Amino acid sequence: MKFIIDHTKRLTLEELQKFISDKDATVELSTASKKSISACRAYLDKKLKTNNGPIYGINTGFGSLCNVIVPDKDLEQLQENLVKSHACGMGEEVPEGIVKLMLYLKIQSLSYGKSGVQLETVEHLCDLINHKIYPVVYQQGSLGASGDLAPLAHLCLPILGLGKVNYKGSQLETRIVFEQKKLSSVKLKSKEGLALLNGTQFMSAYGIYCLLKSHNLNKAGDFITALSIDAFDARIDPFKDHLHTIRAHAGQLQTAQTIRKHLIGSEITAKAKEQVQDPYSFRCVPQVHGATKDAVNYVTNVFETEINSVTDNPTIFEDEDEILSGGNFHGQPLALALDFLCIAMAELGSISERRTYLLISGQRGLPPFLTPNPGLNSGFMIPQYTAASIVSQSKQLCTPASVDSIVSSNGQEDHVSMGANAATKCYQVVNNTEKVLSIELLNAAQALEFRRPLKSSPKIEEMMDAYRKVVFVMRHDEVVHELMHASQLFVKKYFNEV
């Protein structure tokens, strides 16, 4: 599918979900965006011919070197030097799907015609997506202001014919791939290197990935919880609507309603209960899951604003005849939101692990560790250990990154967001939560077998039919990792489709 990048239309999470899900996706700039980019570049070229004073990053050095004037003859070399000198990433590689998002979001930001880049430069970024040439980018190196300098330098090295790329499953020098594809490199003009490197596309791409997965995991969390409610023979009373209308947080109301819908027609839910009250991990699901939903919705609003913004510096305003040096690259809005998302998704995993613990505890007619022959068999004893370990790691990762700042660039950049660190740890926590929920699903599905011949709701039984095609009932001890892995793959696929 071809995706048209058009700065006159609002970019949404749904559009980006379609883009990253389409392995054959290509991109193209709209006619309006091409005109906007070209007009801005023409204005800048004209401005430089008549301007005698310093303009930051265009005829000056960068950061604390902002007062060093660079001669006109060196302006193009200045921009190439910037990209090469700032490619200082370390650590693990950024996953290919997130690199693909970074490219899209960088093109989107440049499409507004406020950055002074050549149309040719932006179209070269489009070429990388269209030929499935993904730059090698590293996770460490960005302070989240002045934007994501180091990762964006690695992202943009290939359009200069430099750096390394991932292409058809191999990591290769860019020049080798360009020779194969008969692609040429770009000669950067004034301002362009700075426009490519200043921006929040590393933080934004990670954030978009985390949000897309978080929305799915919220859906999965409610569905798996509904299964656990029947598996543990818990009460439906805490999910009745009138209990929540008197404390009407949107996420709480939505969660209670969703759980009730999932359990309509359940024979297990309908039968009389011996216990008067359930533990918090069942009784307080609307309040806990609901708070996570509210947090995810807040963060979604922050990121949808960001991906429809210009985040480089300086910014060119043709109509006002001004080139303004400001701070739209500063990642503080994203850093705070990513820390919030990290905490919210960790809590979704934390309460899930507690339900798993109860399911294996030998209560309410369930055998210890959900095995027909406990003692000889350990059953599902150790998956709960694994879930607890993962939950503990997520809690440790929830220490906010956004409260930190370290002075850089000889004091010129004296307050930074650390949003990139917030992004990479949020990515890890979201993936951790997926694992913990898939462990709960494994346990709840096993526990449900001990409620037979009673049936859960038609919706739950439909899911169980699909689940049992990939994860069997464990009658005696097996290599449980295989079942856990299959359960995680099921969560990835099933709740992306329902």
Confidence (pLDDT) at 59: 77
Asked if 112 is an active-site residue, the reply is: no
Q: Record the pTM.
A: 0.95
Q: What is the pLDDT along the chain (498 residues), one digit of tens a residue?
A: 999 999 999 999 999 999 999 999 999 999 999 999 999 999 999 988 887 778 777 777 776 677 777 777 877 888 899 999 999 999 999 999 999 999 999 999 999 999 999 999 999 999 999 999 999 999 999 999 988 999 999 999 999 999 999 999 999 999 999 999 999 999 999 899 999 999 999 999 999 999 999 999 999 999 999 999 999 999 999 999 999 999 999 999 999 999 999 999 999 999 999 999 999 999 999 999 999 999 999 999 999 999 999 999 999 999 999 999 999 999 999 999 999 999 999 999 999 999 999 999 999 999 999 999 999 999 999 999 999 999 999 999 999 999 999 999 888 889 999 999 999 999 999 999 999 999 999 999 999 999 999 999 999 999 999 999 999 999 999 999 999 999 999 999 999 876
What does the alpha-carbon distance between residue 287 and residue 280 come to, in Å, rounded to a whole number?
A: 10
User: Considering only the top CATH level, what class is 2-199?
Assistant: mainly alpha
Confidence (pLDDT) at 498: 61
Rg (CA), the chain: 26
Contact status, residue 20 vs residue 101, Cβ threshold 8 Å: yes
CA 202 to chain centre: 10
User: What's at 435, amino acid-wise?
Assistant: K
Confidence (pLDDT) at 67: 74
Q: Which of 121, 55, 8 is nearest to 315 (CA)?
A: 55
Place of tokens 């077998």: 449
Residue 423 — φ and ψ, nearest 5°? -70, -45
Answer whether the bond into residue 64 is a cis peptide, omega within 30°: no
SS3 label, residue 169: coil
CA 360 to chain centre: 32
Sheet strand arrangement including 170-173: 134-135, 164-167, 170-173
What does the alpha-carbon distance between residue 88 and residue 363 come to, in Å, rounded to a whole number?
A: 55
Confidence (pLDDT) at 376: 96
CA 351 to chain centre: 22
What does the alpha-carbon distance between residue 235 and residue 251 come to, in Å, rounded to a whole number?
A: 20
**How large is the angle between the packed helices 119-130 and 31-50, nearest 10 degrees?**
140
Confidence (pLDDT) at 245: 97
SS3 label, residue 89: coil
Catalytic residue among 43, 56, 209, 467: 56
Q: How far lies 321's CA from each of 190, 216, 318, in Å?
A: 18, 46, 5
The b-or-e profile of 110-140 (16+ CB within 10 A means b, else e) is bbbbbbbbbbbbbbbbbbbbebbbbbbbbbe
Task: List the chain domain ranges.
Answer: 2-199, 206-497
Confidence (pLDDT) at 298: 98
CATH architecture of 206-497: Up-down Bundle (1.20)
| Residue 460 CB partners (closer than 8 Å, separation 6+) | 223, 226, 227, 230, 262, 263, 266
| Residue 381 CB partners (closer than 8 Å, separation 6+) | 360, 369
Which residue pairs, CB below 8 angstroms and at least 24 apart, start in 485-494?
A: 487/438, 487/439, 487/441, 487/442, 488/434, 488/435, 488/438, 490/438, 490/441, 490/466, 491/220, 491/224, 491/434, 491/437, 491/438, 491/441, 492/434, 494/220, 494/463, 494/466, 494/467
Confidence (pLDDT) at 60: 77
